[in-house]
Amino acid sequence: MAWKSILLNKTRSLLSLSGISIGIFSIILVFTITDSLEKGIRKSIRSLGSDVIYVQKWPWIFGGEYPWWKYIARPYPTFEEYQFIEKKANTIREAGFIFTARRKIKADNKQIDRITICGISHSYPQIRNMQLEEGRFFNKMESDNGSRCVVVGNDIAEALFPAGNALDNYLSVSGIRCRIIGILKKEGKSMFGLSSDRQVFMPYTLMVKFINPKSEFADPLIICKVKEDVTVDRGMDEIENILRAKRRIKPTMESTFALNKITLLEKGFDDLFVLISLVGWIIGGFSILVGGFGIANIMYVSVSERIQQIGIQMSLGATRYFVLMQFLLEGIFLCLAGGAIGLSMTAALVLLMHDFSGLELALSWSNVGMAFQLSFLVGVVSSFVPSYEASQLDPVEAMRR
């Protein structure tokens, strides 16, 4: 009977469920985008390595009231300090060094502008767990001698050598002709811009011939991977002592370097996503609230139109519970239908955004379940009072109206 009542009043039903549709669409879209962003950011953070320490000039998280000019005055980590840590540290399994620059690269009659060129130590790929599709990485001897060899990202290989013959071919960087000895597996987009797909890696000793590693724009850093039985905090303590000794920092003075780990980023992003989720609930909550009032008004209209019918039903033996459920189910059906429409709109928009934005958006089953749960809850809350008042009508008085 509840379903038939909805079908008999199609225009009114469509207008009433439109509010719920918009509310569900708003809140599920916000949560879908938030979940996708969180998934992408956490994936990028995990790629940094949970057991890796980053020695840099700048900290990832600024705490307290540390004057910014003290950070600017700090020196950048150097290759010599990386070698010193590699020699002295007992808690570190592997240490590496990297600095970067933007340069134009050429191959035959093709060229690509503003490509990230990375000068690295031979151990850097093992710490970052970089995967090869073809070829190999340069070894320690090639790294120490500054051999003219490079490992390129997947996009670079495809752009310069579309025929697929990049391996053992040559490209030029700043006039230096280098042989391609390795091609990396495709990584895809990274939220932090850490994807190696559009990067070229060469030995540190080769890159210093045309790039100053101490330049402000080179952003040099030392990365250290701790041993399996050593905690990151213990490794950080040892590295701090080693670097303070190397830089001859007095015990009373502050360190002139920053030691970063991914837990610092994770904590910052946890707080950010809590705030985003709260904003999502507020935005969607107002839409659902408006839709709920619309359902309640429609149910009051429906009750007032069918008072005589209610009186006849009760006079023929229908219980108050039967009348209550009849109108309550009508409101629930309306909200569930509105939720399904809102969910369909969200799915269509997510698919469109996925194709055009490049983001890895996906409508999760948890969000689908939440949409129907919210629709059901709004249906119960908004329809209960009109349904209850209908069930409490006196049959004789109802039939007289």
The one-character DSSP state at 219 is -
- Could you please report the per-residue DSSP string of 41-76? HHHHHHHH-TTEEEEESS-SS--TT--HHHHHTSPP
Average pLDDT over residues 338-367: 78
- Tell me if residue 81 falls in helix, strand or coil: helix
The one-letter code for the residue type at 176 is I
The one-character DSSP state at 254 is P
Per residue in 96-153, pLDDT (tens digit) is 999 999 999 999 888 898 899 999 999 998 888 888 999 999 999 999 898 999 999 9
Q: Which residue has the higher pLDDT, 63 or 324?
A: 324
- In sequence order, what are the beta bridge partners of 259? 55
- Is the pLDDT reported for residue 80 higher than 90? yes
pLDDT at 242: 94
Whole-angstrom distance, CA of residue 306 vs CA of residue 1: 12
The one-letter code for the residue type at 195 is S
Per residue in 294-324, pLDDT (tens digit) is 778 777 777 777 778 878 888 888 888 888 8
- Tell me if residue 165 falls in helix, strand or coil: coil
Whole-angstrom distance, CA of residue 263 vs CA of residue 295: 46
pTM of the full structure: 0.67
Whole-angstrom distance, CA of residue 324 vs CA of residue 393: 11
Helix (H) or strand (E) holding 116: strand 110-120
Question: Residue 189 — φ and ψ, nearest 5°?
Answer: -70, 145
- Is the pLDDT reported for residue 16 higher than 70? no
pLDDT at 138: 92
Q: Which residue has the higher pLDDT, 67 or 385?
A: 385
CB 92 within 8 Å of CB 103: no
- Is the pLDDT reported for residue 192 higher than 60? no
**Beta-sheet strands, E only, within 85-189:** 92-107, 110-120, 132-135, 149-152, 170-173, 176-184
- Is the pLDDT reported for residue 258 higher than 60? yes
- Is the pLDDT reported for residue 348 higher than 90? no
Contacts of 305 (CB under 8 A, 6+ apart): none
pLDDT at 12: 62
pLDDT at 221: 92
